[in-house]
Amino acid sequence: MRIQDLKELQLDGIKESANIGSGHAATALSQMLGKEVSVEVPKIEIIPIEKTPELLGRDAGIIVASLTKFFGDVTGRTLIVMSDDNAKTLVKILLNKEMSRDVVIDDMGISSLKEVANILCSSYLNAISEFLGLLLLPSVPVIIRDDFGAIISSVYLEFSGNEEFVFCVKTIFHFKDPKKELEAYLLLIPDTGGLTIILKAMDLL
């Protein structure tokens, strides 16, 4: 079976684990903010790495990404990516302060984004780890602000040069106060051979 031939139905198990992870993330974020937050996972798929810049649109320009290494039975990296505007809106909600579109996110904002990224990444990896029966341990996230294509090219060439496909988890944050809906994507980029290990654990290879 070719990876690109996998059907949505065959990914239901890992999507369900991602939903469980999103529930844990929502609980942690709600506790952190002291207000209700829900996290939705409407779609998970395996896509060619060269198509990842299309997630936010080819003309997305500057985006904000959280880069986290993971270790264990499979090694690799995760990227949580969102538009620059969505990142600023998230910081505004997290810090409860105004932020104009032309202002660069400051150190306090970066720190708050790291905290959210750590919660989200850890929640997803823990749930997926339990589902697959594989050990996946995340590192401390690093926040990057750059062109999407430049970010993904750098990560791919540096760390995962022999893999062509990545797991993509579409993630939507729902905030009730203020009423906001923010979209992000979590990319699971295994090291060489890692995707094969994951698919074998899912009995798909």
Q: In the 3-class helix/strand/coil scheme, how is the chain assigned residue by residue?
A: CCHHHCCHHHHHHHHHHHHHHHHHHHHHHHHHHCCCEEEEEEEEEEEEHHHHHHHHCCCCCEEEEEEEEEEECCCEEEEEEEEHHHHHHHHHHHHCCCCCCCCCCCHHHHHHHHHHHHHHHHHHHHHHHHHHCCCEEECCCEEEEEEHHHHHHHHHHHHCCCCCEEEEEEEEEEEECCEEEEEEEEEEEECCCHHHHHHHHCCCC
- Two tokens, residue 193: 């051979």
Residue numbers in the chain where pLDDT is lower than 50: 1, 160-161
Domain count of the fold of the chain:
1
pLDDT at 165: 75
pLDDT at 160: 46
pTM, two decimals, is 0.85
pLDDT at 59: 66
pLDDT at 190: 83
Quote the domain boundaries for residue 142: 3-201
CATH of the domain at 45: 3.40.1550.10
